[in-house]
Structure 1
Amino acid sequence: MGFIFSKSMNENMKNQQEFMVTHARLQLERHLTMQNEMRERQMAMQIAWSREFLKYFGTFFGIATISLATGALKRKKPAFLVPIVPLSFIFTYQYDLGYGTLLQRMKSEAEDILETEKTKLELPKGLITFESLEKARREQSKLFSDK
C-alpha cells in the first residue's frame, strides 16, 4: 500500500518538476524577449535623436558655410574657410549615424571584438560572485553599525 502511494507521489513530484522547468524556461524566454525589445527601442531612439540633431546641425552648417564662404570671398581671406573643415566632419558623422552605415559597421566591429579580443572584455577581479557580494555587504553593514 505504501509503495503505491509512494509511486503516485513520485510521479506527481516528477510532473511538478517538469512544470517548473517549463515555466522557468518560458519566463527566461520572456525576459530575453523583453530585454531585446528594450534594446531595440533604445537604439531606435538614438537613431531618431541623431536624425533630429542632423536637421538642426545641417541648417547651422549650411548657414555657416555660406556665411564663411561669402566672408572669405569679400575680404579675400581664405582663412575664413578653415572652420568649415571640422564642422564638415561633425556633419558627416551625424549623417552617417542617422542615415548611413555607421551602425552596421559598429555592429560588425563589436562582433569582431567579441570573437577575437575576448580578454579586453574581462572584468577586473573576474565575474561577481555571491560570495564577493556577501563580503561587500558585510563590510558595508559594519560601516553603518560602527556609526
Structure 2
Amino acid sequence: MDENLKRQQEFMFMNSRLQLERQILMQNQMRERQMAMQIAWTREFLKYFGAFYGLAAVALTAGSIKKKKPGLLLPVIPLTFILVYQYDMGYGTLLQRMKGEAENILDTESTLLDMPKGVITFETIEKARRSQSKFFIEK
C-alpha cells in the first residue's frame, strides 16, 4: 500500500513537471513568434517609410534649391532619425542592445520591477471578487 502511494506520488510529480515544461516551451515559442512578427512588421514598415523618406528628401532638396530657402530641408532631420531607428530595429543590433539592457535591469535594478502593492495573491483576488459580488447583488 505504501509502495503504491509512493509510485502514484512520483507519477503525479513527473506528470506535473512534464506539464510545466510543456507550458514553458509553449510560452517561449509564442514569445518567439511574436518577436518574429514584430521584426517582420518593422522590416515591412521600413520599406514603405524608406520610399517616403527618399521621395521627401528629393522633393525638399529640390524645393530648397529652387526657392533658395535652406529651411525647407529641416523636416529631413527628424525623418532621418526615424529611418535610422527603424533600420536599427529591423536589421541592426537594437534588439540585442535592448536585451542587454533588460538583463542589466533584472540584475541590478530589480526593485524597479516590483508591482504596486506587491504581488497579487489569492486573498486580494477573493477580496475584490467579494466586493464586486456585493456591488452586483445590490443593483
For Structure 1 versus Structure 2, the TM-score category normalised by the shorter chain is over 0.9
Q: TM-score by structure 1 length?
A: 0.94
3-state SS of paired residue (2:120): coil
The offset of 1:23, in angstroms, is 0.3
Bigger Rg, which one: 1
Could you list the runs of 4 or more consecutive aligned residues of structure 1 that deviate by over 2 angstroms after TM superposition? none
Identify the match of residue 51 of structure 1 among 43, 48, 70. Answer: 43
* Post-superposition CA distance 1:58-83 (Å, at most 9, x none): 00000000000011111111011000
* In the alignment, structure 1 residue 135 sits paired with structure 2 residue 127: yes
Deviation digits for residues 27-53 of structure 1 (CA, Å, limit 9, x no counterpart)? 000000000000000000000000000
Distance (whole Å) between structure 2 residues aligned to residue 137 and residue 13 of structure 1: 37
Partner in structure 2 of residue 96 of structure 1: 88
CA RMSD across the alignment: 0.5
* Structure 2 equivalent of residue 126 of structure 1: 118
Distance 1:94 1:15 in 2: 56
The residue type equivalent to 2:8 in the other structure is Q
- Matched to 2:9, the amino acid is Q
Give the SS at the match of 1:127.
Answer: coil
Distance 1:77 1:124 in 2: 53
The percent identity for this pair of structures is: 67
TM-score normalised according to structure 2 size: 0.99
Equivalent-residue separation in structure 1 for 2:67 and 2:129 (angstroms): 69
1-structure distance, mates of 2:73, 2:14: 67
Are 1:105 and 2:97 an aligned pair? yes
**What's the counterpart of residue 6 of structure 1?**
none
What one-letter code is carried by the residue in structure 1 that aligns with 2:58?
I
User: Equivalent residue for 1:76?
Assistant: 68
Q: Which runs of 5+ in 2 are unaligned?
A: none
Match of 2:107 in 1: 115
Residue type matched to 2:24 in 1? L
Q: Could you tell me which amino acid in structure 2 is paired with residue 59 of structure 1?
A: A
Aligned-partner SS, 1:125: coil
